[in-house]
Each structure stands twice: as structure tokens, then as C-alpha cells.
Amino acid sequence: MGCGPCLHLGASRNRRRHSPVVTRATVGCEALITSSWGIWATLACVGASALHMERSKWGKGFNAALLATVLGLVVSNLNIVPAHAPHIYGVVNSYLLPLAVPLLLFSGNLSRVLSTGRLLGSFLCATFSTVAGTMIASMLVPLTSLGADGHMVAAALTARHIGGSINYVAVTELLGVSAGARMAGLAADDVIVTLYFIALYTLAKRSGSGEENDGEQPSSVADGETQATDRIADPTISVIDGATAIGISALLCAAGSAIAQSIGYKGGSVAIITLLTVLFATFAPSSFLTPGMIASGESLGAILLQIFFASVGASGSLSVVVQTAPWLFAWSAVAVATHLIGVLVFEKLFGFPRRETCLSSNANIGGPTTAAGMAAAFNWTDMIVPSILIGILGYTIGTPIGVFMSPCIAKVFAWRMGLFSV
């Protein structure tokens, strides 16, 4: 019998000693919605609601991924849906998420990245600044409140600050981060990234580059992202293009999963699927990758990701956020601030124009859509496509760099806590 909406914040002192991440007790308190279809409907509605909220007046300062995660956390902690539903959340993680990866990366033709010229160099400098930010943040703010998940969440955030949320998800899946820690890291980082965008747009406005703006005033951050989304999404999306995109995506997922299993790469299917997709996007004939199919894939992939982020929030615990948020906020703030300082230093050293500095940084921290959104907002029309291309490069390299950084961060954390001698 249900006990109505309630918050589950309890865990035994003994369990906390083994894992600082607190889980929710479910004894005697059944969720209001327990049927499979009911949970699926809730996740779908949460994902769709987040997309609508992102376009609202008050929701423009946030992205749909953050809103879906927070809404999922709310409906779960109010006990509307259960936090533990492996028959649903497991399907999302094992099938919907991998299927979304190729759908979002069909435009990842790496041969086109070379055409971005100096912007590519600025992007690589921004990536180096992200790695430097990770190491400094890890020395100053060891994420001990997350226990064994601490260095893995930091590595996943590094991947996100190079590519995007999809890289964060891939690294957490590959490293086996617990659901609660994964959700807490994403939610805290989203807040810091929102503040980062405000600072970045302020820097861009102060660039004093009237010629590049053509005398037009930039629109807001969210308006820019919406313009970019509208530019990327082809209005001629068709059923046949969507069906083709799903079919090819499923084939890539099947191949990536089979390769990961054959080589014993546990949890690495998403990383291999990403690699296969980029290779396919780079070398496949143009007849396979039409603009309509790419646009259809991006739209379908975005929908699947919204359901995924809703499930991330639903499987999380408010107690985890309360317990770990201060440290995660601090870690992300130091990492992102160091990144921003680094890109400005490289701007002075190599003479990058301010708009290239801002776009390459945006492509790192936000991804291709937000970078193209900034270019559209400031009327840098000649930089929209290059911004998308370097953002896709971030998707490609973010996951392997994040995985590589994980043991390095673990050593820094251990050294910081006096458990490791350099």
C-alpha cells in the first residue's frame, strides 16, 4: 500500500562508512506509479516537459538535460516513481542510450575538422586548459564525499568539459559510477556551466569586435542555442530518413557491443560505438549520410537523451545531492574557472581573436550546439559550421581523454589525502 509522496533520506551509519553516497530506504513506502508503462510514461513526459521548459521565459537560463534530470529527481524523491526500477532504467542505459550515440554523431566527419583552420588550434588549447583545470581542481578539492566514485566522477566531468553530456555518460558507464554519484555530478556541474555561459557571453560582448558582429546586438544565451538548433535541424525531416538513421544506429550498436564483448572490454560498448560511428561518418559515401538523415538522427537522438536524463534523475537520491553538492560545486567551479583563464592566456600567447577563443571554449564546455548557438547569437555566421565541427571533435576525443584521466585523478586525490606519495 502506498504511503504518499515522501522523501527518502535515510541510510544506516554502517553503510555510510563503506560508501559515502547515501541510498534511499524503500521499506514500507511504495511509489505511486509502479507499472512499467506508468514509469515509461513518466520518463517520456519528464523529458518532453524539460524541452518545453527550456524554451519558456524562466527556463531559458537552463538546458533541457539539467531540467530533465532535476524533474526526474523530484518525481522520484516525491515517491511518484520508484528509484529502483532496473527493468526500466536498465533498458534506458543498455539500449536507448547506446542507440542515441550514433544518431547524434552522424555529422562527425573528422576530415571536415581540418577545414576549421585556426579555430582547431584554439580548440586544442582549450582542451589542454580543461585538463589543467581538472588537475588543479583535483588537488584543491578531492571529492572524498563520493568515496570510490570520486575520481571517476571527476574523470567523467573532464570528458564533459571537452565534449559534452554524452561523454560524461559514456565515461560513467565505462567506469561503473553509481547512479546516485552520476546524477549528483551532472546536476552540480550544470549549475556551474550555466554561470560559465554568463561569463563567456560577457567576455564575447567585451571583445570590441564590431565588424564581426555587423553592428547587431547579440541575443541571449538560450535564444542563440535555439537558433543553432533550428539551423542544424533540417525542417525536411522525413519518416524514411528517420527509419534509416535508426537502422544504421542499431547496426553500429550491435557491432560495437559485439566487439566490446569479444575483447572483454566490460562497460566499453558506448566508447566503441562512438568510435565506429565517427569512422562511419568520416568514410561512408554521401549517399548513406544525406542531410535529411543526419537531421533526423539528431532529432531522434535528442529525444532519447531526454528520456535518459529523466531516468538519471529518477534513479538518484536527494540525500546524495545534499551531501555531495558543496564539494562538487567547488570542484566544477575551480575546473571551469581554470579552463577559462587558460583559454585567455592562450589567446594572448598565440593571438587568437576573441570570438575564436569564446567559440572554442564553448565547444569544449557546452558542445557543438551551444557553440553554434553563440556564433548565431553574435551573428558570426561564418563560424557556425566550424563551431559545430570542432564541437563534434570534442565528442570524439572527450571519452578517451576522460578514461585516461581517471587513474591520474585517483593518484592526485590519494596524494591530496596523504595516502599516496609522489
Q: Average pLDDT, stretch 73-78?
A: 86
What band does 19 get if pLDDT is binned at 50, 70 and 90?
very low
Q: Say if residue 99's pLDDT is above 90.
A: yes
**Which H helix or E strand runs over 173?**
helix 165-175
pLDDT at 31: 76
Look at residue 321 in the predicted model and tell me its pLDDT. Answer: 67
Give the pLDDT band (50/70/90) at residue 164. Answer: confident
pLDDT > 90 fraction of the chain, expressed in percent and rounded: 32
User: Distance of CA 146 to CAs 24, 150, 183, 333, 404, Å?
Assistant: 16, 5, 12, 17, 20
Residue 26's pLDDT band (boundaries 50, 70, 90)? very low
- 222 pLDDT more than 50: no
* Of 284 and 321, the one with more pLDDT: 284
The distance of Cα 148 from the centroid of its chain, to the nearest Å, equals: 21
Q: Which of the residue ranges 213-222, 260-269, 406-415 has the most confident prediction, judged by mean pLDDT?
A: 406-415
Among 165-179, 233-247, 278-292, the range scoring the smallest mean pLDDT is 233-247
Residue 52 identity: H
Could you tell me what percentage of the chain is helix, strand and coil, using 3-state DSSP and rounding each to the nearest 5? 75, 0, 25
Residue where the block lists cell 538535460: 65
> Comparing 257 with 287, which gets the higher pLDDT?
257
Q: What number is the average pLDDT over the span 332-357?
A: 95
Give me the pLDDT at residue 60, please: 67
Mean pLDDT, range 90-119, rounded to an integer: 83
> 79 vs 264, which has greater pLDDT?
79
Angle at 186 between CA 136 and CA 301, to 5 degrees: 125
Q: For 366-395, what is each residue's pLDDT tens digit?
A: 888 788 878 888 888 888 888 888 988 898
Q: Averaged over 338-356, what is the pLDDT?
A: 94
pTM: 0.72
Q: Are the beta carbons of 66 and 370 closer than 8 angstroms?
A: no
Q: Distance between the two ends of the chain, CA-based, in angstroms?
A: 56
27: pLDDT strictly greater than 70: no
> Stretch 303-323: mean pLDDT, rounded?
80
DSSP label at residue 220: -
pLDDT at 246: 95
* Residue 292 exposure: Cα atoms within 13 Å on the Cβ side: 10
For the cut 60, the answer to whether the pLDDT of residue 82 exceeds it is yes
Q: Does the pLDDT of residue 307 top 90, yes or no?
A: yes
Structure confidence at residue 336 (pLDDT): 96
C-alpha cell recorded at residue 343: 583559454
Q: What is the mean pLDDT of residues 81-101?
A: 87
Q: State yes or no: pLDDT of 66 exceeds 60.
A: yes
In tens, the pLDDT along 228-267 reads: 444 444 446 788 999 999 999 999 999 999 998 898 777 6
Identify the band that residue 419 occupies on the pLDDT scale cut at 50, 70 and 90. low
* 364 has a pLDDT exceeding 90: yes
pLDDT score, position 6? 41
Q: Which three cell numbers stand for residue 315?
A: 534513479
Q: What is the pLDDT of residue 362?
A: 93
Alpha-carbon gap, residue 374 to 363, rounded angstroms:
10
Segment 352-370 shows an average pLDDT of 91
* pLDDT range class, residue 24, cuts 50, 70, 90: very low
Q: What is the pLDDT of residue 215?
A: 40
CA distance 189 to 330: 10
